[in-house]
């Protein structure tokens, strides 16, 4: 599995910001409600962030218990749990990017009419949702880092002589994650 590309996240966020801004312009032109998530979505985002962080810390604790060239018995980590944690972290980052981009677009549209509104609740709600999306991105990227295994000394990938584990064509070194395909 490849690590997240920050440029891809930035591009997705920009596209969604334009889409959120456009949707807000269209809905306000036709007198429809602003397309912003309700406040209860923050609670859902918080639950997702906490679950992702707890599972990531579990993988991190397992990873930190491994000592190179050590004869001590290592705890066994379920490879399926590590793979699911990684997928959850990446999904959390992507979902946070979508939410951040969409609500930044809404916030920017609402900001231009800030002084004309008597109730700025939608603007603050869009800003809170964007903050929740940013938190999801940060936790997703952090937990993805938790799932990486440092290269082991003495292991080689083959003909090129690079250090690190070579697992079924996977990248070695910093692109490798805490689960193995063995």
Q: What is the mean pLDDT of residues 110-139?
A: 86
Q: pLDDT tens across 51-63, in order?
A: 999 999 999 988 8
Residue matched to tokens 């705890």: 75
The span from the CA of 92 to the CA of 74, in Å, is 29
Query: Residues 46-102: pLDDT tens digits?
Result: 999 999 999 999 999 888 886 666 555 566 778 898 899 999 999 999 999 999 999
Q: What is the pLDDT of residue 121?
A: 82
Q: Residue for token digits 């579990």?
A: 58
pLDDT at res. 181: 44
The whole-angstrom separation of Cα 124 and Cα 11 is 24
Please state the rounded mean pLDDT for residues 138-157: 77
Mean pLDDT of the chain: 82
């Amino acid at each position: 599995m490849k690590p997240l590309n920050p440029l891809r996240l930035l591009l997705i966020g920009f596209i969604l910001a334009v889409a959120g801004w456009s949707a807000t312009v269209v809905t306000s032109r036709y007198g429809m409600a602003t397309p912003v998530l309700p406040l209860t979505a923050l609670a859902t985002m918080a639950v997702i962030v906490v679950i992702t962080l707890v599972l990531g810390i579990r993988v991190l604790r397992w990873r930190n218990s491994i000592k190179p060239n050590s004869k001590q018995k290592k705890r066994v980590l379920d490879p399926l749990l590590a793979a699911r944690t990684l997928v959850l972290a990446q999904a959390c980052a992507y979902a946070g990017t979508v939410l951040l981009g969409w609500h930044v677009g809404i916030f920017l549209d609402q900001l231009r009419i800030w002084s004309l509104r008597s109730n700025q609740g939608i603007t603050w709600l869009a800003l809170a949702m964007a903050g929740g999306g940013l938190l999801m991105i940060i936790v997703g990227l952090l937990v993805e880092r938790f799932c990486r295994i440092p290269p082991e000394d003495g292991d080689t990938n083959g003909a090129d002589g690079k250090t690190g584990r070579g697992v079924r064509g996977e990248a070695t070194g910093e692109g490798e994650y805490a689960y193995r395909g063995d």
